[in-house]
Amino acid sequence: IIQECTLRLKEASQEPGCFVRPLTVLSPPYLTFPHLHELRQAIVAMMNRKDELDEQNGSLRNLLDGEMEHSAALRQEIDNQKKKLAEQEERHAAKIQALGRENEVLKVQLKKYVGAVQMLKREGSQVNDVLPNVRSSDADLTIPEPKPLVDKYELANTYERKLIEVAEMHGELIEFNERLHRSLMAKEALISQMRQELIDLRGPVPGDLSQTSEDQSLSDFETSHCALINVWIPTVFLRGRTANAFHVYQVYIRIKDDEWNVYRRYTEFRTLHNRLRTKFPSVSAFNFPPKKAIGNKDAKFVEERRKQLQEYLRNIMNKIIQTLPQFTANPKKETLVQLLPFCVDIQPTGDTASKTRPRVASKFSRLSRTHNRETRNPEPQSGDL
């Protein structure tokens, strides 16, 4: 601190008209404690003031930089506006020149048109002079009315209005098309749902054969020549004791007016599937429910398997109709049983064929009273088909 004060006193002594005592007087041996304390306070105040001035200087410099940036941005924006204004003036000048040229052309056309009209009037007056005795009605020449000049701007506005109308009509047409498409999709979904319900109630309807066929050549099959054969699995029975219980599926088959029931286990369905796969390789593409060892007595699982087996049998019947012409030529129960022994109804020993269906039905009706029975749709009757 003393050295800094000494330097300041040297600088002050060099100024003209300033008298400073020799440094020997302010040397440490001659300085008292109060003088040192005051000198320190003065130096601290001076340094604080210097810091404040530096801060003010920095803030002012920042403000100056900000104002300069803002001024530069405004100057650039003014330049851009000037460029845009110049471009607009050029476009307006070009437009005015084009309008002036069009005006000159229209003036020339108008002069030509007026000259033509005047020439026609002169010719009419000459005709009246040559033929004075001609009836006044014939002598008067009808001068065609001058065609109104076509205003190009009005024509352009008309075209613009027409284009707007066409665009609006196009938008309305697109909106109507979307609404029609949504309605069509809803109708198709409803038709598909109703068709599936009809199939569940009455069996395959005409047109399902081409959908279930895996062979492209079978899609052109004439449905009008198909034999009327319908298959359902309306009911599932639980037979046997608890340890060895198994389900028996009631298969209802109808060919025209002939109808009968067949009762089969899942193992018999699986045997049929394996046998048909060797004879018809395309049968492997049909959805056949797989075997399940655990949980196969669950009601939900049994219902799902019933639907899958029913769909599988319908696909098999369609395959027989499409690939075996002997059945199509003679669609009867005997022909189907001969081609597909799976459809044979089991006859008890000593009973005739005419009593087969009542005895089988009565046999399983007793099973349904003594054992648990899954709730299914009632057996369809011939009068309902």
State which amino acid sits at residue 18: C
**Element containing residue 235 per DSSP (H, E):** strand 229-239
DSSP-derived secondary structure for 35-98: HHHHHHHHHHHHHHHHHHHHHHHHHHHHHHHHHHHHHHHHHHHHHHHHHHHHHHHHHHHHHHHH
- Please check whether residue 332 lies inside any domain of the structure: yes
Domain contains 267: yes
Q: What are 119-168's pLDDT values in tens digits? A: 766 765 665 565 555 455 444 545 555 555 556 677 777 877 888 888 88
CATH of the domain at 270: 3.30.1520.10
| Residue 248, domain member (yes or no) | yes
Inside any domain, residue 354:
no
Q: Which two tokens stand for residue 220?
A: 């052109």
Q: Write out pLDDT tens, residues 245-277.
A: 889 999 999 888 888 999 999 999 999 999 999
Domain count, the chain: 1
| Averaged pLDDT for residues 304-323 | 88
Cβ-contact 247, 266 below 8 angstroms: yes
pLDDT of 117 higher than 50: yes
Q: Backbone phi, then psi, for 265, in 5-degree steps?
A: -90, 170
Contact call for residues 256 and 228 (beta carbons, < 8 A): yes
Considering the domain boundaries, does residue 236 fall inside one?
yes
Higher-scoring residue by pLDDT: 47, 203: 47
Q: Is residue 254 part of a domain?
A: yes
366 falls within a domain: no
Q: Which phi and psi (to 5°) does residue 258 adopt?
A: -100, 130
> 233 in a domain, yes or no?
yes
pLDDT band at 212 (very low <50, low <70, confident <90, very high): very low
Residue 267 structural domain: 229-343
pLDDT in tens, 26-59: 445 545 566 788 888 999 999 999 999 999 999 9
SS3 264: strand
The residue with greater pLDDT, 351 or 13, is 13
